[in-house]
Structure formats: structure tokens, C-alpha cells
Amino acid sequence: MARFRTGWLLIGAVLASGAASADRAFKQKDCLTCHSKFAAKYDSARYAHSAVKDRKCDDCHLRHGIVPALVLKKQGNGLCLSCHERKALGLDKPNVHAAVRAGPCIKCHDPHGSKAEHLLKAEGPEVCYACHRREAYEKKNVHKALASSGCGACHVAHAADAKQLLKGDGPKLCTGCHPANGRLSKAHGEYPVADVRCTLCHDPHSSDSAKLLRASVHPAMEGGVCDSCHADKKAAQPYLLTDKLDKLCLGCHDAAALTSAGPVEHPPFKKGDCTACHDPHTGKGDKLTRVAGNGLCLTCHRAKGDPVGRPHPAVTTGAGCRSCHLPHTGKKSLLAAAPEEVCARCHGKLREGQLKRKVVHPPFEMGDCATCHDPHGSNFPGMMPGRLDQVCFGCHADKESEFLKAHTHKPVQDGLCNACHEGHASDNPKLLKATGALLCEKCHADLMKGAGSGSTHPPFADGKCLGCHDPHGSNTAGMLLSDQKTVCAKCHAKAVKAATSGKSVHSAFAAGDCSKCHSPHKAGLKTLLLAQPPDLCFSCHKDLKARLASEPNHPPVEGCLSCHKPHGSAEPKLWTEPIASLCGQCHDTADKSFRAAHLGIDPKDIRCIRCHDPHSSKDAKLFKRLVHPPFEARDCGTCHGVAKPSPFKLLPGAEGKICLDCHLQLEDLVAKPFTHTPVRAKLCVGCHNPHTSRYDKLLNAEAGALCLGCHPAVVPSPALSTHKPVADKNCLACHDPHGTANKFTLVKAGRDLCAGCHEAVAGPAAKAKYKHRPLEEGGCVACHTPHGSAKAPFLLKADVPALCAGCHKTDKPFFAKQHSKYPVEKSRCTSCHDPHGSDRRALLANTVHPPVAKGLCPQCHEPPTSATPLKTKSQPPKLCRACHAQLLNAMADRSRLHRPVAEGNCMACHSPHAAKEKGLLRAGLGTVCGGCHADTLNRQQASPTKHKPVAEGKCTACHDPHGADGPLALVKPTAMETCAACHDVLKHMSHPMGEKVADPRNRNLSMQCLSCHRAHGTEYKHMLPFATSTDLCVKCHAQFKR
């Protein structure tokens, strides 16, 4: 029974879980499930957007799935206008609010909800003050309409028929509240002002004056005597002036007083256009000026009002422009006095003091301050009209190019001429701020502080900085007067001569890198050394340092100079004396134990470093890394005799044979038909050290270097081509060092050896229908040299066609007939023939240009009977156009041509006669494209994830080799379409992609394949530009950044 009950329970659970999973699969989450805080915020808002109220988030937003992102259905105002019709908002009217025209709706409105009406972001005028400066609206007397009803009393929000978004035109708007009745007439001297623009005299927002009048009022108007200028109030045209404007003004204002300041007249004043600056009724500034302060001047002299980083206080404070200029007449530039006098009003003390100094800068002396300063302010320090050095170069033009050097003095580079030179006057020559080292000390004080505790370079101690350095710049590091070797040799010529006349010279010394060891200024050590040996030496000899750190050292190694000279020596390896006597300084060679250890060999005959490492070794006796076992066992007698007179010589007849006594495995090799000469001569020590060695297999040197010791001429010099294993000194790639069954002790015979690396050539050659006889009979070396060639590329024994002419008799009639009677005997045979084999007769390359295949050579070349038969009738692309006009025309119509196409250089990629590749390409696409775009292919090679087309050399899968309308010559209009040719982008992943999905990192990009991948690969997996996908994702989804 219990089991029965359990069964039903299980069935019930399964059914229930099935229903639940179906529920999970189809139920869509509500937005507020996650955005509950958002809901709480806007549910409490006084006004809420209808879509928010109805929970219709989808009206505006696209669902974003598991990737959180704000994705709107439309961008910008287009989203709002899809519900709020333009006409309803009045946007079809002629004057549209700039905030609506240029900005988003959400600049003023909250799209979800607000406590202000119309979903405005703030209540009343506050929302307007976000853009409009509130000071203009909050003066002492505020227009009642503004105070009570806000800006909306007179203006509409979005657009209007009237300018300035006014609800009505001109005075009609005002008369809505201020009716044109007797009261209004009385207040305006009975003049009919109902049709006159009220804002001529009144500020419609706020004013510090009564009746909202502007800052200054014309006394005639204030006194109500309007008819002193205008016709009578009851005249048909009451506002007509009673005389010409200038005469009216000068009727009251004294002309002589206005013109007495100087000969230069302000143009408006000269024209009698007083109202250009003054308002005849009220003015926003004092003296009835139309605009207050500098603003008046800036209405015409607009450029002077541009904000600057270094304003002139005279302009920005006090009287402003009028600090220096007069409004009606004045001296030059309407200045109140001569320029130097105007400047001297504030800067008089400076001028007076500077003029007393010994050297005065001519412009300063002449009082021409504006040569170097902009009196209206500038963005440069000192109110310079440009960067300081540019100002200086304005007069000192020759210096600009003189100072342009690879290593420029920092102040010169930064354009700070005033770091060293005074601008006005100085007591030193060249307006220098100080002389000699005192000047340099200003910046280099730390360096120049005191003498070195150990040594000081005399020119440095004497403050003769310019003895070595150019103060402005030079093309040598350290701003030296010339290269270091020359500068130092000026004083140290004898030392240089002595050091360079011996057998060995320190490489740093030979290169003139004196400062690698010596300080040019001062040092805590003697002879200006930067550090004590061996630390100083280790800064270059890093390998030795590492070795010394890992194994016991020979004690003298602490003092490199005890054995080596620092600059040059008459002995090899910079030794201070011959090696035997050098070692003898410490090792008593007459001592019995020494003699016993060295088999009584005469010390003069011992070359110590043959067995011992002079620097370090893991061996107590400083033997080199590898030690021959008999030597280690001190079993000398096995190889050496003990009898006099040469106890260290090998036993008679023992050469070679002794080695084989132990190295039995070599017997087979030595017995091979072809053996290495030292092996044949039984001279094992030719290559091996029988005692100790630092190199594997007890070799006397590194393998490749050892071979070159006997075979130095294996590669000709200069070589036009060198075999890679030879260049890599990897001789053993082809040769056995002892013996083989093959000539030259090659590890494999003939073509098999070459095929090991050159399968791409050897494979097709072996399968070719028509084979080249020399290759079949003589192998690769029939045409190629194995090491290097001084005569031709590709290791050829001679260049083509001379090489071919060795077998093919070019002077025979048959040869001419086969080549349509063209004299091709000096042409490059491989431009048509494949020398390794082909499936076409005459070894023609597999793809042949149709005119060549048909023997129609004269189609491109001049006739064979011509004086210049091989000359083409014209040059590409004109020549190619004869047949390929359609293709070339199509190319020319593209905006962006591949550079070889633009150059008309068809032959850069194509062979004109025959080729192994389709399209007559000179080589595979990877090779042809890689000729120029090696960087791109290298990137792919280094990429852990390979992009198939790139890896396979199918560059044309994505790029058009001739050109396109886009910059990367893609075969499709966009990168994404190009990718989609192979990849099903829609199935790729769930991440939103496409033109409508904005890239959060860059507003001008949409999400596409290249937003995350790089087409030619990266150093990371999946061709991502970052090490992990997380690193990539958080670039947009920053909230998940850990």
C-alpha cells in the first residue's frame, strides 16, 4: 500500500514539475519585477506619463533580455513625436524654441513623471532658468506678469508665430494688460505710444529702475520735453525728428569737448551716428548706452569679446574698454594716449626699473608692448598673442629651424624661452637670466649641488656646461655638441689613441659610449665611474651576472679590473697581461701540488682557460660545465703517455683510436662511405675538447660557429641568397658531423633531403605530368647551391636565363620557333615556365595568359621583326585595358583603389605570361598580399584562433583586390554584411546587434561583429581584443565590473 501511494506521489510530482517548467518557459517577466524602485518613485509623482501609469513600458522601450541595457524604440525626439504630433505641439510654426530644435525633449520634461505640470522637470520659471540666466529676471522691480504667472505669461513653450516665442506681436501683447487708455497716454506725455514697441524703453522682465525703465534715461524724456527732438504730440507724424540726428545731439552736447582728445575719430562718431552706441530714450548702461559695459563695444568688435584664459584686468574690471580707449576721439587706435603711456599708467614702475638694466629688449625699449603682448588678453601666459616661442620666432625667425633637433632642451621644446631669457631687460648678454652654470642651476640644481664625493668632471666643476652641451638642442642624446665619442675625445685624445692600438678594445669604448661607465658630471667613485665593478660591468654583461649568481665564483671575479683593462689591451679579451702570467699572479706554478695536478707540464705551455672557466664553475677546480669522464677521474694515462719529453702529448698513434675505444657507437658512423674530414683524420679534438667545455658534447664552441671555423667560405660574401639553416647556423639540419652513406655527410640523399622542408615544391614536382630533366637526374643541386649564392636569388647557381641557357641552346632555330621568333634568350624563363615540373607541355606554368597560350605575343609586344621586339606596345594599365577595359572601367568607378591599381601597376600582383596560381597571380594570395601586408598576416599567425579565410590565404573572401567604395575595400557594403557571407549572424548569439543597436562606448557606432572581434586575429582567443570575454563585456556593462 505504501508503495502504491509513493507511486502516485511521484506521478503527481512529475506532472506538477512539467506544468511548472512549461510555465517558466512561456511566462514573460513584468518590467517592474526588477524595476520596483523605479515604480515606487513615479507612482508617487503628481503627474505621470500615461504609459507609465498604464505600465506600458513597451510603448517606448525594447525588452533587453538578460543583458541590462536601455534600448529605446526610436532614438531622440522621434520617440516622443511618434505619439505627440508635431502639429499639436506647434512645431510647424516659424519660430521654434532652440531647446526643442536642437535638444532632446527630456531636457525640459521628465519622460516618466514629475511634480510639475506637463511633466516638466521643475515648476514655474525654474525650468527655464536651467538655460536662461536668472539674474536678468530677478532685479529689484520684477514685471508683475512674470512674478505671478511665470514665463508662460508672455511666451509659449515650443513654437510660436511671433519671434522670441511671444504669445503676441509687439505692443499688442503689452496692451493686453496695459490698455491704451488715457492713463497710458498721460504717462507718456500725451504721445500716442499704443503702437510703439514698449521694450524700447522698458525691460519686460525686471529692472532696478522704477516703471521697469532701463538703467539710464535721457533728461529730455525724463523732463517730459519730448518735443525737444520730436514733432508735436498732436502732429500727423508726432515721432518725426525736428532735425538731422547729429545736429539734434550737438545742439546740447559740446562738439569741441567731444573731439579734443585726438586726431582719430570713432567711425560711428565720425558719421554722426550717435544712436549706434546711444539710445535716445533709455539705455541699458550709463550715458544712455545701448548695452551696458564692454558689451556695447563688443556689438561691433565681437572678436575682442571671445573668452580668454588670461584676461587683461584693465579690460575686465573697472571702466573696461574705456580704461584705455576713448569713445569718440583719441590717439592711435582711439587710445587715450601713446601706447607706452597707456601701459605705463598701470605698469610704470616696471618700465622705469627695467630700462635701467644693461641690456634692454628693443621692442620694450621702444615701448611697443603690443609686439609681445595682446592688450585685450589671450590664452597664453603673460597675455602673449601666441605661444611664447612663436612670439619670439616672429622676430628671431632663423632660430626656429635652428632649434628643431632630435634632442631639444626641455624649455625650448615647451616653448618657454623665458626659462633662460628675460623678456624686458637683463644685466647679462643675450638677455639671459644668469650666466654660465648659474643659469643651468635654476633647473638642474640637484645635479649641480656640490662636487662629487669621489670625482668631478673638470668642465662640470668649472661650470662650463656649454663646453659639452648645446643650450637649445642637438641631434645627439644629452644635447651634446656632437656625438659622445667626439666630445670626449676633444680632451681625452691621448687615452683614446692608446686604448685603440692594441689587440682588443672594449666595445662600449670603441662605440664611444663613455657614459655607459662614466658620469659626465660627478660621481661618488674615482674616475667618474657610475658604479664599482663588477656591478658596473654587469649592467652590460648580464649573462655573466646570471652565471655568477648560480654557481661558485672565482674570487678575483669581484674585481673585473684585476684581470681586464677597461678600455683596450695589447692582449686578447682586454687581459692586463698574457694569460699564463695573469693566472700566475695568484697560482704558484712552481708549487709541487700545482705541478702534480698538471702532470708536470711546463706552466708556460699551459693555456689555463682551455680547461678552467675564469669566472665561475660548479666545479671546485673551476673546470668548465662539462668534463670528460676520464679527465674527471684523473685517468690521464689512458690517453696520454707519461714518458718524457712530452708527457701531455697523446700516446703515439693514439689519435682518434683512443676515442673509439670508449665511444663505440661512433664506429659505425666512422665506417660510413662519407665521413667528416676531422673524423677521417682521426682528429676528434678538432671539434671536441678532450678535457672540459661549456658547450654540449664537449664541443670547442657552439655548433654552427664551430663549423664556420673551418668552413668560413661556405656562404659567399656578399650573398644574394642564403639557405635558412645556414643563416641559422643549423648545419646539422642537413649534415651529420661524423659520417653518413651520403656525399657531404648529408643526413638524407638528394631530393629527399630538400623535400623535408620544401614539400610544397617537391610534392607537385613529383606528381607533375611533364618533369624537368635536371631535377630528375641531378636533384635540386643541379640548379641550386645548398648554402648560399652570390649570383642569384633562390640559391640558384646562376641567375635566370643564364642558368637555363647552360642546357637549352638558345641560338638554335628550334628555340626561336618555339618562342614565335621572339628573341627571348635573355628573358626570364620562369615568367612562363615552371622549372620544377608541370602538367602542361614545355613546362609552361599551369595558368597561361590566353595571348601567350595562343602564341599571340604581338598582341602586347611589338612584332618580332621590330628593333625592340620585347618592348610592350604600351605600359599597364593602358596595355591591359585593350582586353580588360570593362574590368578597369569598373575599378575606376570606385572611390578607393588598391594602391597598385591606382599606380597602374597590374604587374605588382599578376604575371603577364603564365603562373601557377589562378588569375595569373604571381604567387598564392597569402604571399602576394603578404608582400605588402605582412603585418596583417603576422597578426593572424600570432592569433590562437585562426580566421579561416586569412589562415588559408583567401584574402579576397572579404576584400576586393582591386578596390571598393569603402576604406578597407570590403566585398560587401558593410563589415557586418561581409561577415554574414560566411557566418549566420542571427544565430551567433543573443546579444543585440545591428544598425539600430547603439554601441555604448561610441555614439557613432552600432553593435556589429567588429564591436567585439578583430577580423585578422589578436593575441587572445576568439579574436577578441581582450584576454577574457569578461574584460570585453564590462567595457559596455560596467556595472558588472569586478
Partner 1 sequence: MTTVPRVLPTGLLLALGLAPRLARADAVAFVHETSVYVDAKGSSLKAPEGVACAPNGYVVVADTGNHRLLTFTFKEGRVSGGDELKLKELVSPVRLQIDGKGNVLALDAKTRRIVRLTATGGYGGPVETKGLEGDAPVVGAFKLDANDNLYLLDVVGRRVLVLDPTDAVSWQVAFPKDAGTVTDIAVDTGGTLYAIDAVGARLWSADKGTKAFRPLGPSLKDRVAFPTYVAANGGRLFLVDTNGQGIALLGADGSFQGRQLAFGWGDGLVNYPGQLCFAPGGIAFLADRNNNRVQAFTTGAK
CB of 315 to partner 1, least distance (A): 17
Q: What is the DSSP string of 709-731?
A: HH-GGGS-SS-SEE-HHHHTT-G
CB of 379 to partner 1, least distance (A): 7
CB of 878 to partner 1, least distance (A): 11
List 47's β-bridge partners, or say none.
Answer: 114
Rounded to whole angstroms, the Cα distance separating 274 from 286 reads 15
Look up cell 707519461; give the residue.
642
The nearer residue to partner 1, 137 or 403, going by C-beta atoms, is 403
- Summarize as ranges the residues that interact with partner 1 (CB under 8 A): 102, 306-307, 309, 379, 386-387, 389-390, 400-401, 403-410, 413-415, 446-447, 473, 475, 477-479, 513, 515-516, 519, 523, 530-531, 535, 539-540, 894-896, 899, 902-904, 931-936, 966-968, 999, 1001-1005, 1010-1011, 1025, 1035
Phi then psi for residue 493, to 5 deg, are: -60, -40
CB of 118 to partner 1, least distance (A): 24
Cell numbers representing residue 566 in the block? 677597461
567 three-class SS: coil
The nearer residue to partner 1, 382 or 552, going by C-beta atoms, is 382
139 class by beta-carbon count within 10 Å (0-12 exposed, 13-18 middle, 19+ buried): middle
Distances (CA, A) of 570 to 502, 505, 564, 577: 4, 9, 11, 8
The nearer residue to partner 1, 117 or 400, going by C-beta atoms, is 400
How many Cα neighbours within 13 Å face the side chain of 432?
12
CB of 533 to partner 1, least distance (A): 13
Rounded to whole angstroms, the Cα distance separating 507 from 477 reads 19
The nearer residue to partner 1, 105 or 326, going by C-beta atoms, is 105
Rounded to whole angstroms, the Cα distance separating 985 from 974 reads 13
CB of 557 to partner 1, least distance (A): 19
CB of 260 to partner 1, least distance (A): 38
**CB–CB of 230/240 below 8 Å?**
yes
Rounded to whole angstroms, the Cα distance separating 396 from 412 reads 14
Cell numbers representing residue 953 in the block? 590565404
CB of 402 to partner 1, least distance (A): 8
CB of 322 to partner 1, least distance (A): 26
CB of 756 to partner 1, least distance (A): 30
**CB–CB of 927/915 below 8 Å?**
no
> Quick one: which of 908, 856, 864, 903 has its CA closest to 882?
856
Distances (CA, A) of 510 to 491, 497, 501, 514, 516: 16, 11, 11, 9, 12
The nearer residue to partner 1, 343 or 388, going by C-beta atoms, is 388
The nearer residue to partner 1, 755 or 908, going by C-beta atoms, is 908
Q: What is the DSSP string of 465-493?
A: GGGTB-SSEESSGGGBSS-HHHHHHTT-H
Q: Give the other-Cβ count within 10 Å of 690's Cβ.
A: 18
CB of 267 to partner 1, least distance (A): 24
The nearer residue to partner 1, 11 or 404, going by C-beta atoms, is 404
CB of 828 to partner 1, least distance (A): 19
CB of 408 to partner 1, least distance (A): 5
**CB–CB of 297/273 below 8 Å?**
no
CB of 521 to partner 1, least distance (A): 8
The nearer residue to partner 1, 785 or 1011, going by C-beta atoms, is 1011
The nearer residue to partner 1, 148 or 895, going by C-beta atoms, is 895
The nearer residue to partner 1, 893 or 984, going by C-beta atoms, is 893
The nearer residue to partner 1, 410 or 587, going by C-beta atoms, is 410
762 alpha carbon, distance to own chain's centre: 44
1040 three-class SS: helix
Look up cell 597590374; give the residue.
906
Distances (CA, A) of 170 to 113, 194, 688: 36, 10, 110
The nearer residue to partner 1, 473 or 953, going by C-beta atoms, is 473
Identity of the residue numbered 876? P
The nearer residue to partner 1, 594 or 1026, going by C-beta atoms, is 1026
Q: Torsion-angle region of residue 780: left (phi > 0), alpha (psi -120 to 50) or beta?
A: alpha
Report cis status (omega within 30 of 0) of the bond before 718: yes
Q: Give me the helix-helix angle, 925-932 and 934-941, nearest 10°.
A: 120
Rounded to whole angstroms, the Cα distance separating 650 from 648 reads 6
CB of 937 to partner 1, least distance (A): 11
The nearer residue to partner 1, 118 or 899, going by C-beta atoms, is 899
Kind and range of the H or E element at 48? Answer: strand 47-48
The nearer residue to partner 1, 1 or 445, going by C-beta atoms, is 445
